[in-house]
Amino acid sequence: NQRSRRTTPSPSPPSPAFGLDPATDLRKGGPALLSPVFNLTVGVASRSRAYGACIGPYTAVEVSYSYLRLPLASGSTPGVCVGPLELIGPRAVVVHGRDVAVLGFLVDSLAEEMRSGEAMVEVKLIEGGGGGWWDVETRWVRVEAAADRL
């Protein structure tokens, strides 16, 4: 029985974002509809000598931007478990957003942060538990635009 639910997104390289082109998608001065795609990596580690760790199948992944936590994309992870004191390396998880409305001042901010390489997004893993949803892990990661999009 895998009692420990401690999960850890991989701290390996920041997750690149595709589908956001600062030159065309993030025009200055007005609201925008974005359809971003984020390629993320997720790993699992157990720090317990007695119990393993799991990310359950269909664990939700949400990506949001700014202190306002503007939702940009969502998806789910495949299930994976490890035994006591084991870890499993990064697994690819792709999450999508479709026609996400972004206010003008946030478009300007996101465009400038992407151009300067400073854009950060919040990645949250949410797993079903008991009578409701509960957060498994939250991390802020730097966005790297695909080289062919800049």
Integer Cα distance of 131 and 51 in angstroms: 23
| Average confidence (pLDDT) over 4-9 | 43
Q: Please, how many CA atoms are within 13 Å of residue 50, restricted to the half-sphere of its CB? A: 2
Three-state secondary-structure class, residue 109: helix
Residue 7 lies in a domain: no
pLDDT at residue number 27: 61
- Which CATH number do you get for residue 136? 2.60.40
Polymer length in residues for the chain: 150
Over 60: is that where the pLDDT of 3 sits?
A: no
Residue 130 lies in a domain: yes
Burial class (CB in 10 A: 0-12, 13-18, 19+), 81: middle
pLDDT at residue number 28: 61
pLDDT confidence tier of residue 114, bands split at 50, 70 and 90? confident
Which percentage of the chain shows pLDDT scores above 70?
A: 71
- Lowest pLDDT segment from 17-21, 41-45, 53-57: 17-21
pLDDT confidence tier of residue 2, bands split at 50, 70 and 90? very low
Integer Cα distance of 142 and 119 in angstroms: 6
The number of distinct structural domains making up the chain is 1
Residue 10 lies in a domain: no
Integer Cα distance of 66 and 81 in angstroms: 32
pLDDT at residue number 50: 96
Residue 3 lies in a domain: no
Residue 9 lies in a domain: no
Beta-carbon contacts of 50 under 8 Å, excluding residues fewer than 6 positions away, are 84
- Higher model confidence: residue 20 or residue 43? 43
Residue 116 lies in a domain: yes
Residue 64 lies in a domain: yes
Residue 6 lies in a domain: no
- Tell me the residue range of the domain where 29 lies: 16-141
